[in-house]
A and B are shown apart, each in its own frame.
Chain A
Amino acid sequence: MPTITVDGEDYEVEAGQNLLSICLSRGIDLPYFCWHPAMGSVGACRQCAVIEYEDDEDQQGRLVMSCMTEARDGARYSVDAQTAREFRGGIIENLMINHPHDCPVCEEGGECHLQDMTEMTGHTLRRYRGPKRTHRNQYLGPFINHEMNRCIACYRCTRFYRDYAGGTDLEALGRNNQIYFGRREDGRLLSGFSGNLVEVCPTGVFTDKTFSRHYVRKWDQQMAPSVCEHCGVGCNTAPAARQPGSPGDPWLRRVTNLYKRDINGYFLCDRGRFGYEYANSPARLTQVMERDNIELIGSSSGGGALSHRQIAPADGVEAFARHLEDHGTGKHLLLGVGSPRSSLENNFALRTLTGAEQFYAGVSAVDLQLLQLVNSIQCDERIRSATTPEVEQADAILILGEDIDNTAARIALAVRQAAQNQRRRQAEKLKIPDWQDAALRQLPAAPVPIVFAGCEIPALADCCSDHVIGTPDALVSFGEAVLEAIGASRGGTDQGDTLTDTGDSPLSRDYLQLARDTARALVDAERPLVISGCGAQHPGLLRTAGLIATALAEERDEPVNTYLSCPEVNSLGLLQILSSADQHLERAGSIMADARKRGIPVTLVVLENDLFRRLPQNQAQEILSSADTVIALDHLLNDTTRRAHLVFPTAATPEYQGTVINSSGRAQRHYCVYEGIGFIQESWRWLADAISASNLHSDTADLVRSWQHSDDVSAALAEALPVFAEIRRLMVSLRDNFNVARQSHRASGRTAISAERRVAEEPPPEDTDAPLSFTMEGVHDPAKTTLQAVIRAPGWTSNQSIHKYLQGLNGLRVERGAPTLLQRPQKPVPRWQSVELHACGNATNGSTTSGRLLAVPLHRLLGSGELSSSAEGIASAIEPPFAKLHPTDAAQRGIHHGEQLVLNLGETRRQLHARVDFEISPGVVGLPCGFPELADITVRLPVAVHIKPVTASDHTAGGDEP
């Protein structure tokens, strides 16, 4: 290990690192702007200058940019030298010349890297009195606010947006002193990672517009570690809350990234960052409601919707308890429907309440089958689930059928970094360090083999070496060809090129060749990766991906990294709780119908689930109407809660403590950031309250009654199901009054914020679940515990201070132990036959017969998420529902781009905007998955549909069906 001397102190450092990252990770404060731990160095801002001495005799030294200087063994440096300090002071003075003196009205103020660095450099007095250069701002959409005057031209925004995240619509325009970072014209930033600009920009040029609507300074924010609830990746977030001081303000103010090396690192996608607003949505449930007996007039009842009235929570719990008692006497059938977007604790509480046999997954048969496939593939010992850094290091990637840009966006961002790996290898040969970002990106290198196979050309296409666009069936055939080619290379001889066309293959010669090339690339790679998932809603694709990964592992004689994306935050966790493989919604429906036939009354408890997003409308309606009583627990007023007889308001993810399992089988805790308003409480608490209020006496009822804390439920879960044995490790018990403060040490307004209602201060709420306090009293140091989500350090108010709490550059957070994983028994995947691969959940294979097209789901980052669609900002950015089809298919049917078309699926008929585009495969029509207006259709996909242009009669018949 090389040793260097900085200001007389000796440091042992890792070889090949630059001086800036060494200094920062050793706790030496050195100002910088353009450097970013994930993006490397470009030496643009000149702020991190230090003195390098030639040898021991050298007293003068010379100025070098520490971010561009590789630490030499035995070298002597000085950060503190007068020359270096003066130089850095001059630089910041220059950078500040045009800075607009508007910190008080800047959202970045109080967590601003520029403020920190100005302080650190000691630039306290402005000497320049000349005129300042000004810029006009642009409208950048509902998420990002633009204030160009504040720019110091460090280029971090375009380096992140273009180089790191692959965006194209943010550029450095203009020249010299007038440089301008923006779009060519006003409009929404189109990249799904635009929100990261807020954290990447060291000044206030890009700020969070949704946050600005209910802005609070960082020192006033109450934070706790949380997990993003909008997809299965499980990114760590730090939601920020503040007590509302006047009636209109919400509790939850924003979401920022919380560094977690193995999952999200420094970045979040826009759905995760801006989706939080659903918790503040006007549709939020805050009261216990009971069915009212007013008959709704036909047009507003919307097929079974009931009107509700508020009741006292105790009455609601009492009514719930009565239903449980009936069930206890055997006169009643009690069914529970769980939820993949709720925590393990909530689902387990419902399972305990209803009994394992009567607990159903809140997903359809196909979705459950997909989850089981993911699970069984991950349980194969030849398969490893890749962490995000492992995805970034992959040198050959096959993405089969999963549009990860939209279903697991953070993983797509990691794949983008993997696309640079050939360059990194090339740089290593040329002895260029990998943090030399500008040099690295200019190196000519062969593309990294990243092959995407899907129905639509993805946003990721620009960093893929090849892509295959086809119907799901063709994609399976492509996968099979890859599989066959891997098998052929196993034969000992390299026969990849000599494979002959059998003639009856559905693939073109080009695709067959590509399949062979892909197979060879995967076999030859050092770190191959197979990515697939549930997004295509096609079990065959998942099976094919599983077979390819296992064949590859056989070939390489070591486990192969895979990433299988699950649709929701706790999909994989819900699956483990089920008692058998067929506990899906359709079965729940048939059991209920059966009971009804036999005259047994049915009570259905729906936990945080909208059945209308899981099943076609008529099936969902049938399930709800065949229950005599529907008891729903949820965050938002949706189609299911509208039809429930009893509705309980439940805590959203930032409002309670729970455990969720991400797509890689990793268990993570999210903590309560603030207590929900009104009568909101955790679902498991409502269920436990109902049991406590009932006169039931059994072992399970007594167990539920004994639950006081969230950890009691977790412990019972770990006890009951060995697969969750490890989650005990997530329980942080209170020791020696060890409390972590949710508020910063300088939270303000404590004696005024609620003084309007009552001048005497009320005691803060107590958290009975976690060793965190709702006040500023407690541990503040993020180095002491990972429960501390307010990331700051003396002199470092912004999130950039995270480097103080990591074990080395981009390392694990200090104190973070090994990941908590599901303890699943290992079992090899079955050898699926070709027929099973082509079998698709819903559709017939002859998709294009009799003029029909195969409708496939197209996921969209903004719009496909259930909860995030209710967020104000995201809702305004969701595209109008469309049907996307290939020009040849459109021409055959006389459909033109931009016009309306009619889509017929069984009895359902919809008018949609036609989007005619070469991006989509012929033979399919893509429908935006999970969009509020289309959710009940897209759950059935892929399925064959009839498409025709709108005729005059359609206009008279009206548009959408109710």
Chain B
Amino acid sequence: MISQLRSMWLVFRHLFTPRVTVEYPDEKPYLAPRYRGRIVLTRDPGGEERCVACNLCAVACPPDCISLQKAEDENGRWYPGYFRINFSRCIMCGLCEEACPTYAIQLTPDFEMCEYDRQNMVYEKEDLLINGPGKYHHYSFYHVAGKAVGGKDKGAAENEERPVDIRGLNL
């Protein structure tokens, strides 16, 4: 008897507590920058595509919903010829972002991706690529890695000596 009265009291009291839910979609909830939503491909501070088509995101992906093909420009820079994410399979786990060695693939606080047609959930590179660096503003993979690309010669990366002149004495 006492327990029933206590339950009724508790329920009654909840009428006056503030609501946790919001009137979505009229009111949008706050999502942290590191929320795991829609995936984007970012650009480095120089405005170039960050993705170097290393395939690590694809191999880390549990539902195997990422597919891409390496291509290379005339200066040796690797980039994805195509980059496809099948969001109808994506589980927003963020393992791709964790695997990415260049901060190219990032998850964003956007989850509003409903479609009537499942085919529309297949995103190509044009749909994924954004015009900014995302969460990591200053990182540029090619300025750390030793491979020469257009605009960065051998020896010009961080912590690199000038290339060895193999015809010199090299004392």
Contact = CB atoms under 8 A, between A and B. Distances in A.
B4 to A, nearest CB: 52
A444 interface: no
Given A216-B55, A751-B64, A752-B64, A134 B155 contact: yes
Nearest to B101: A104
A752 B86 contact: yes
Interface string B138-161: 000100111110000011010111
Contacts of A214: 69
Interface in A62-121: 99-106, 109-110
Interface of B: 52, 54-56, 58-59, 61, 63-70, 72, 78, 81-82, 84-86, 88-89, 101-102, 118-119, 121-122, 124, 141, 144-148, 154-155, 157, 159-164, 166, 170
Interface in A164-191: 173-176, 178, 180, 182
Lowest 5 A-B CB distances belong to which pairs? A100-B146, A749-B67, A104-B54, A752-B67, A102-B145
A217 interface: yes
Given A134-B146, A178-B164, 12 more contacts: A100-B157, A135-B163, A149-B154, A176-B170, A217-B59, A246-B69, A248-B81, A249-B69, A746-B59, A748-B59, A748-B67, A752-B67
B89 A752 contact: yes
A511 interface: no
Interface stretch (A21-29, A43-51, A124-132): A124-132
Contacts of B68: 245, 749
Most buried by B among A104, A149, A213: A104
Contacts of A697: none
A220 B157 CA distance: 31
- Among A173, A180, A214, A750: residue with most chain B CB under 10 A: A750
Contacts of A130: 159
A163 interface: no
A331 interface: no
A150 B146 CA distance: 9
Contacts of B148: 137
A597 interface: no
A755 B146 contact: no
Contacts of A110: 55
A104 B141 contact: yes
Nearest to A219: B59
Nearest to A138: B166
Contact of B144 (A101, A136, A176, A748): A101
B54 to A, nearest CB: 3
A99 B144 CA distance: 11
Contacts of B118: 759-760
Contacts of A484: none
Nearest to B122: A755
B154 to A, nearest CB: 5
A104 B164 contact: no
A213 B73 CA distance: 11
Nearest to B124: A756
Interface residues of A, number: 55
A263 B22 CA distance: 72
A111 to B, nearest CB: 12
Most buried by B among A106, A133, A212, A759: A759
Contacts of B72: 212-213
Contact of B78 (A105, A150, A216): A105
B166 A104 contact: no
Nearest to A107: B70
Contact of A101 (B59, B81, B145): B145
Nearest to A109: B54
The interface centre, meaning the residue of A101, A109, A245, A749 with most chain B CB atoms within 10 A of its CB, is: A749
A11 interface: no
A944 B61 CA distance: 67
A216 B68 CA distance: 9
A147 interface: yes
Contacts of B146: 99-102, 132, 134, 149-150
A572 to B, nearest CB: 41
Contacts of B63: 751
Contacts of B55: 110, 216-217, 220, 748
A839 to B, nearest CB: 56
B86 A759 contact: yes
A753 interface: yes
A175 B154 CA distance: 20
A136 B145 CA distance: 14
Contact of A104 (B52, B65, B157, B160): B52
27 contacts: A100-B146, A102-B145, A102-B147, A104-B145, A105-B54, A129-B159, A132-B160, A134-B155, A134-B161, A134-B163, A135-B154, A136-B163, A136-B164, A173-B166, A180-B164, A212-B70, A215-B70, A219-B59, A249-B69, A748-B58, A749-B64, A751-B63, A751-B86, A752-B64, A752-B86, A756-B124, A759-B121
Given A129-B159, A759-B118, A245 B164 contact: no
A246 B88 CA distance: 19
A108 to B, nearest CB: 12
A760 B117 CA distance: 11
A945 B82 CA distance: 55
Nearest to B76: A105
Contacts of B89: 751-752
Nearest to B117: A759
Contacts of B67: 245, 748-749, 752-753, 755
A100 B155 contact: no
Interface in A242-298: 244-246, 248-249
Contacts of B82: 245-246, 756
Contacts of B166: 135, 173-174, 178, 180, 182
Nearest to B58: A748
A759 B66 contact: no
A874 B6 CA distance: 87
Given A104-B56, A759-B121, A752 B66 contact: yes
A178 B122 contact: no
Contacts of A748: 55, 58-59, 61, 64, 66-67
Contacts of A178: 164, 166, 170
B38 to A, nearest CB: 15
A155 B116 CA distance: 60
A114 to B, nearest CB: 14
Which residue, of A134, A219, A747, has the highest number of chain B Cβ atoms within 10 A?
Answer: A134
A129 to B, nearest CB: 7
A758 B89 CA distance: 13
A72 to B, nearest CB: 42
Among B89, B119, B146, B154, the one with the most A-chain Cβ atoms within 10 Å of its Cβ is: B146
Given A105-B54, A749-B64, A749-B66, A755 B164 contact: no
Contacts of B163: 134-136
A133 B164 contact: yes
Contact of A756 (B84, B141, B147): B84
Contacts of A182: 166
A775 to B, nearest CB: 11
A750 B64 contact: yes
Contacts of A102: 145-147
B102 to A, nearest CB: 6
Given A131-B161, A136-B163, A759 B147 contact: no
Contacts of A131: 159-161
B39 to A, nearest CB: 12
Nearest to A104: B54
Contact of B69 (A104, A129, A245): A245
A752 B147 contact: no
Contact of A105 (B52, B85, B86): B52
A747 B86 CA distance: 16
Contacts of B159: 129-132
Given A133-B164, A175-B170, A753-B67, A759 B145 contact: no
Interface in A762-786: none
Contact of A100 (B86, B121, B145): B145
A109 B145 CA distance: 14
